[in-house]
Chains A and B, each alone.
Chain A
Amino acid sequence: MCNTCGCNITPGNRAHAYNPVNGVTAVSVLQNLLAKNDGQAAHNRRHFDQHQVLAINLMSAPGSGKTALLEATIDALKSEFHIGVIEGDLETENDAMRIRAKGVPAYQITTGSACHLDAHMVHDALHHFPLAGLDILFIENVGNLVCPASFDLGQHRNVTLLSVTEGDDKPAKYPVMFRAADAVLLTKSDLLPVLDDFDPMRAESYLRNLASSVPVLQLSARKGLGLEAWFDWLRNELAQQRNRMPLAEAALHVF
C-alpha cells in the first residue's frame, strides 16, 4: 500500500481519510506503519529482480524442518539451479554451517533477541552475499508463526511449513501467517501413520477457511517423500519470475 497513488485508501478506511480533527494542526497521513520496512523491502525486491533471482521466504514454527527441507532441496536441485541461503536465528551459525556443508553459499543473520527478520537485516546480509549467478535465494526466517508474517523482506513468495507433529488447527490459530503463504508444506509426512491426531484434510480445510487457495503439499525431507511436487512448484515459480522480468531490464542486466 502506498501514499502516492491512493491505493492505501480502501472501502474500510475511506471514512477516516480526510476527517477534520479538532486541534492545532491536523495532518492526514494514511501511511502504513511499516512504511520504512516496506520501502526497504521494495528496494531488496528490485535488487533480486535485476539479478533474476527468485527469493523465497520460508516461515514456520521452530523445529518444523525448514533447514532439513533446504538440505534435501539442495541435494536434489544443486546441479539444476544455483541456490543460495540466508539463515535467520537468534543465535548460532549452526544452520548456515549445515547449508554450507551441502556446498552452497549461506549467510547467517543472528538477530540477538529479535523474533523476526526485517527488510533492513536482509539488505545488510545482501552486502555480504553476491547474488550474481544465483537462481533461487531462500531466506529462512526465524522460527515463529507470529511476527515474521508482518514484515515484507522483498521476497517474491512466502512458503509456510506446518509439520504433522504440530496441531492440524494451526492455520486457524495463526491466520495472519497462513493467509500470507503462497504455498503450505505439510512436513514430516512419514510420521503420519503414527500420529492419528493430525488429519491433513482438516489442516487444509482450516487453511481454506482463510480464503486461501494456495497449494498444500505433503512431504518428508528426511525420507524423500512427496518432494517432486515441491521441486515442480519451485521450477514453475522460477519460470514465472523470469517471465515477470521486463525484457528491457533483463537486457540491462546482461550488458
Chain B
Amino acid sequence: MHELSVCQALIAQVAQIAAQHAATGVKSVRLLLGPLSGVEAQLLQDAYPSASAGSVAAESVLLIEIAPLKVKCETCGAETQASPNRLLCGQCGDYHTQLVSGDEMLLLSVELLSGAA
C-alpha cells in the first residue's frame, strides 16, 4: 500500500542527484530490493510512471534487482538460503541467525543524461 510514497521518495532522491550533476534527464534508475524489505517490486513498477511524471526522471526506466535471502547461523556458522517466514539455519535448524541479505531497499545507481541529448 505504501509503494507510491516510497516511489515519490525515490524520485525526490533521483531528482536531487540529477541536480547535483547538472543532468538534463535520467535514463535509468537501478534498485536492489530484498524479499523482507516490505516493498513489492511490481507495485513499485506500477507506481513509477505516475510518481516520475513531470520530473527530471519522467522518461527513465526503473530496473529492479531482487536480493537473495540469506542467513548466517550464530551457532554453527553456516550461511544458507532462507525464505521470508522461515529464517532458520538451513544446516542445523537453529533460529539464532542473522540476516546477511534480504531486507535491502537500496537505490543502487542512476544513469544521467546531460546536454541536448
For the complex, is A251 an interface residue (Cβ under 8 Å from B)? no
Chain B, 76-117, CB within 8 A of any chain A CB: 84-88, 95-102, 104-114, 117
Among A45-53, A159-167, A209-217, A220-228, the stretch that binds chain B is A209-217
Q: When chains A and B are docked, how far (Å) is the Cα of A209 from the Cα of B94?
A: 9
Q: From the candidates B23, B31, B39, name the one contacting A150 in the complex (CB within 8 A).
A: B39
Q: From the candidates A12, A24, A176, name the one contacting B70 in the complex (CB within 8 A).
A: A12
| CB neighbours of B88 from chain A (8 A) | 209, 211
Contact yes or no, B114 A24, CB < 8 A = yes
Q: From the candidates A16, A36, A175, name the one contacting B32 in the complex (CB within 8 A).
A: A16
Contact yes or no, B67 A13, CB < 8 A = yes
For the complex, is B58 an interface residue (Cβ under 8 Å from A)? no
Contact yes or no, A24 B104, CB < 8 A = no
For the complex, is A240 an interface residue (Cβ under 8 Å from B)? no
Contact yes or no, B111 A24, CB < 8 A = yes
Contact yes or no, A27 B96, CB < 8 A = no
| CB neighbours of B39 from chain A (8 A) | 33, 150
Contact yes or no, A13 B109, CB < 8 A = no
Q: When chains A and B are docked, how far (Å) is the Cα of A222 from the Cα of B15?
A: 51
| CB neighbours of B1 from chain A (8 A) | 115, 144, 146-147
Considering the complex, give the chain B residue whose CB is closest to the CB of A150. B38
Contact yes or no, A23 B27, CB < 8 A = yes
* Chain B residue total in the interface (Cβ 8 A): 51
Interface of B is mostly: mixed
| CB neighbours of B107 from chain A (8 A) | 29-33
For the complex, is A35 an interface residue (Cβ under 8 Å from B)? yes
| CB neighbours of A138 from chain B (8 A) | none
Contact yes or no, A25 B112, CB < 8 A = yes
Q: From the candidates A19, A35, A116, A206, name the one contacting B13 in the complex (CB within 8 A).
A: A35
A24 to chain B, nearest CB (A): 5
Chain B, 21-70, CB within 8 A of any chain A CB: 21, 23, 27-28, 30-32, 34, 36-39, 65, 67-68, 70
For the complex, is A73 an interface residue (Cβ under 8 Å from B)? no
Contact yes or no, B96 A213, CB < 8 A = yes
A151 to chain B, nearest CB (A): 8
**Inter-chain pairs besides A31-B106, A115-B2, A211-B87, 9 sampled, C-beta below 8 Å:** A11-B100, A13-B104, A16-B32, A26-B109, A29-B107, A147-B38, A149-B38, A171-B85, A212-B95
Q: List 28 A-B contacts (CB under 8 A).
A: A8-B106, A19-B109, A21-B111, A24-B27, A24-B111, A24-B114, A25-B21, A26-B111, A27-B112, A32-B106, A32-B107, A34-B9, A35-B9, A114-B2, A114-B5, A150-B2, A150-B38, A150-B39, A172-B85, A175-B85, A176-B84, A209-B85, A209-B87, A209-B88, A209-B95, A210-B87, A211-B88, A211-B95
Chain A residues in the interface with B (C-beta under 8 A):
1, 8, 10-13, 16-17, 19, 21, 23-37, 114-116, 118, 144, 146-147, 149-151, 171-173, 175-176, 179, 206, 208-213
